[in-house]
Amino acid sequence: MSIVERVDKDLVAALKAQEALKLSVLRMMKAALMNKKVELGKVLDDPEALAVLRTLVKQRHESAEAFRRGRRDDLADKEEAEIKIVEGYLPAAASEEEVDAAVAAAIAETGASTSKDLGKAMKAAIAKLAGKNVDGKRVNEKVRARLGG
Protein backbone atom coordinates (compact mmCIF):
# COMPACT_ATOMS: atom_id res chain seq x y z
CA MET A 1 0.00 0.00 0.00
CA SER A 2 1.42 3.38 -0.98
CA ILE A 3 1.90 6.18 1.52
CA VAL A 4 -0.89 8.24 -0.04
CA GLU A 5 -3.30 5.29 0.25
CA ARG A 6 -2.23 4.67 3.84
CA VAL A 7 -2.85 8.31 4.76
CA ASP A 8 -6.34 8.14 3.19
CA LYS A 9 -7.17 4.90 5.02
CA ASP A 10 -5.88 6.20 8.37
CA LEU A 11 -7.77 9.47 7.87
CA VAL A 12 -11.06 7.58 7.64
CA ALA A 13 -10.14 5.50 10.71
CA ALA A 14 -9.24 8.63 12.72
CA LEU A 15 -12.51 10.24 11.65
CA LYS A 16 -14.50 7.23 12.86
CA ALA A 17 -12.52 7.02 16.11
CA GLN A 18 -12.92 10.78 16.66
CA GLU A 19 -9.19 11.32 17.26
CA ALA A 20 -9.01 15.10 16.84
CA LEU A 21 -5.22 15.63 16.76
CA LYS A 22 -4.53 12.66 14.50
CA LEU A 23 -7.37 13.68 12.20
CA SER A 24 -6.03 17.23 11.97
CA VAL A 25 -2.50 16.02 11.18
CA LEU A 26 -3.71 13.49 8.59
CA ARG A 27 -5.77 16.21 6.87
CA MET A 28 -2.69 18.44 6.78
CA MET A 29 -0.65 15.56 5.33
CA LYS A 30 -3.31 14.77 2.73
CA ALA A 31 -3.49 18.44 1.70
CA ALA A 32 0.30 18.64 1.32
CA LEU A 33 0.35 15.42 -0.72
CA MET A 34 -2.49 16.66 -2.94
CA ASN A 35 -0.74 20.00 -3.49
CA LYS A 36 2.42 18.18 -4.58
CA LYS A 37 0.37 15.92 -6.86
CA VAL A 38 -1.18 18.97 -8.54
CA GLU A 39 2.22 20.68 -8.76
CA LEU A 40 3.80 17.66 -10.46
CA GLY A 41 0.72 16.84 -12.53
CA LYS A 42 0.92 13.13 -11.72
CA VAL A 43 0.24 10.62 -8.98
CA LEU A 44 2.99 10.67 -6.34
CA ASP A 45 5.21 7.64 -5.91
CA ASP A 46 6.51 6.76 -2.44
CA PRO A 47 9.86 8.63 -2.65
CA GLU A 48 8.05 11.83 -3.66
CA ALA A 49 5.47 11.36 -0.88
CA LEU A 50 8.27 10.75 1.64
CA ALA A 51 9.93 13.99 0.58
CA VAL A 52 6.68 15.87 1.24
CA LEU A 53 6.33 14.26 4.68
CA ARG A 54 9.96 15.04 5.56
CA THR A 55 9.27 18.67 4.67
CA LEU A 56 6.26 18.67 7.01
CA VAL A 57 8.40 17.24 9.83
CA LYS A 58 11.07 19.87 9.24
CA GLN A 59 8.46 22.65 9.28
CA ARG A 60 7.02 21.33 12.56
CA HIS A 61 10.52 21.18 14.12
CA GLU A 62 11.16 24.79 13.12
CA SER A 63 7.77 25.89 14.47
CA ALA A 64 8.28 24.06 17.78
CA GLU A 65 11.69 25.69 18.13
CA ALA A 66 10.20 29.14 17.48
CA PHE A 67 7.40 28.52 19.98
CA ARG A 68 9.91 27.42 22.63
CA ARG A 69 11.93 30.61 22.05
CA GLY A 70 8.71 32.59 22.44
CA ARG A 71 7.89 30.73 25.67
CA ARG A 72 4.79 29.12 24.14
CA ASP A 73 5.38 25.59 25.40
CA ASP A 74 1.75 24.62 24.84
CA LEU A 75 2.04 25.27 21.09
CA ALA A 76 5.50 23.69 20.93
CA ASP A 77 4.11 20.54 22.57
CA LYS A 78 1.32 20.40 19.97
CA GLU A 79 3.85 20.71 17.14
CA GLU A 80 5.94 17.90 18.65
CA ALA A 81 2.86 15.68 18.94
CA GLU A 82 2.19 16.34 15.24
CA ILE A 83 5.81 15.40 14.42
CA LYS A 84 5.35 12.00 16.09
CA ILE A 85 2.26 11.28 13.98
CA VAL A 86 3.93 12.28 10.69
CA GLU A 87 7.11 10.35 11.56
CA GLY A 88 4.95 7.23 11.85
CA TYR A 89 4.74 7.29 8.04
CA LEU A 90 8.48 7.72 7.49
CA PRO A 91 11.00 4.88 7.37
CA ALA A 92 13.06 4.14 10.48
CA ALA A 93 15.49 6.87 11.44
CA ALA A 94 19.16 6.28 10.78
CA SER A 95 21.13 5.54 13.96
CA GLU A 96 24.11 7.62 15.07
CA GLU A 97 26.42 4.77 14.02
CA GLU A 98 24.89 4.62 10.53
CA VAL A 99 25.25 8.38 10.11
CA ASP A 100 28.85 8.29 11.35
CA ALA A 101 29.69 5.40 9.00
CA ALA A 102 28.07 7.14 6.02
CA VAL A 103 29.92 10.39 6.76
CA ALA A 104 33.27 8.60 7.13
CA ALA A 105 32.72 6.64 3.90
CA ALA A 106 31.61 9.76 2.03
CA ILE A 107 34.67 11.75 3.14
CA ALA A 108 37.00 8.89 2.18
CA GLU A 109 35.22 8.38 -1.15
CA THR A 110 35.23 12.05 -2.16
CA GLY A 111 38.68 12.81 -0.79
CA ALA A 112 37.23 15.75 1.14
CA SER A 113 39.75 17.37 3.45
CA THR A 114 38.66 20.97 4.04
CA SER A 115 35.42 22.81 4.62
CA LYS A 116 35.50 23.77 0.92
CA ASP A 117 34.66 20.12 0.16
CA LEU A 118 31.56 20.19 2.37
CA GLY A 119 29.12 20.07 -0.55
CA LYS A 120 30.72 17.01 -2.15
CA ALA A 121 30.90 15.15 1.17
CA MET A 122 27.31 16.06 2.09
CA LYS A 123 25.97 14.86 -1.24
CA ALA A 124 27.78 11.53 -0.93
CA ALA A 125 26.75 11.05 2.72
CA ILE A 126 23.08 11.75 2.02
CA ALA A 127 23.20 9.34 -0.95
CA LYS A 128 24.60 6.62 1.33
CA LEU A 129 21.70 7.16 3.74
CA ALA A 130 19.02 7.00 1.02
CA GLY A 131 15.92 5.12 2.09
CA LYS A 132 16.43 6.04 5.74
CA ASN A 133 14.86 8.90 7.61
CA VAL A 134 17.78 11.20 8.40
CA ASP A 135 18.01 14.85 9.38
CA GLY A 136 20.24 16.70 6.91
CA LYS A 137 21.19 19.19 9.62
CA ARG A 138 22.59 16.36 11.76
CA VAL A 139 24.58 14.98 8.83
CA ASN A 140 25.86 18.48 8.04
CA GLU A 141 27.08 18.95 11.62
CA LYS A 142 28.93 15.62 11.54
CA VAL A 143 30.56 16.38 8.17
CA ARG A 144 31.63 19.83 9.40
CA ALA A 145 33.10 18.31 12.56
CA ARG A 146 35.08 15.77 10.52
CA LEU A 147 36.34 18.39 8.09
CA GLY A 148 37.23 20.79 10.88
CA GLY A 149 34.94 23.53 9.65
Closest to 146 (Cα-Cα) out of 109, 110, 105, 104 = 104
Q: What distance, in Å, lies between the first and last C-alpha atoms of the chain?
A: 43
Residue pLDDT, tens place only, 6-27: 999 999 999 999 999 999 999 9
User: 19 vs 24, 37, 99, CA distance in Å?
Assistant: 9, 26, 35
Overall pTM surpassing 0.85 (yes/no): no
Q: What angle do CA 17, 6, 10 make, to 5 degrees?
A: 5
Residue pLDDT, tens place only, 96-132: 788 778 888 888 777 777 777 778 778 888 777 776 7
- Set out the domains of the chain in order of their start, with CATH numbers: 3-87 (1.10.1510.10), 96-147 (1.10.10)
Distance between alpha carbon 7 and the CA centroid of its chain, in Å?
Answer: 16
Q: Which residues contact 27 (CB under 8 A, 6 or more apart)?
A: 11
- Residues composing the chain: 149
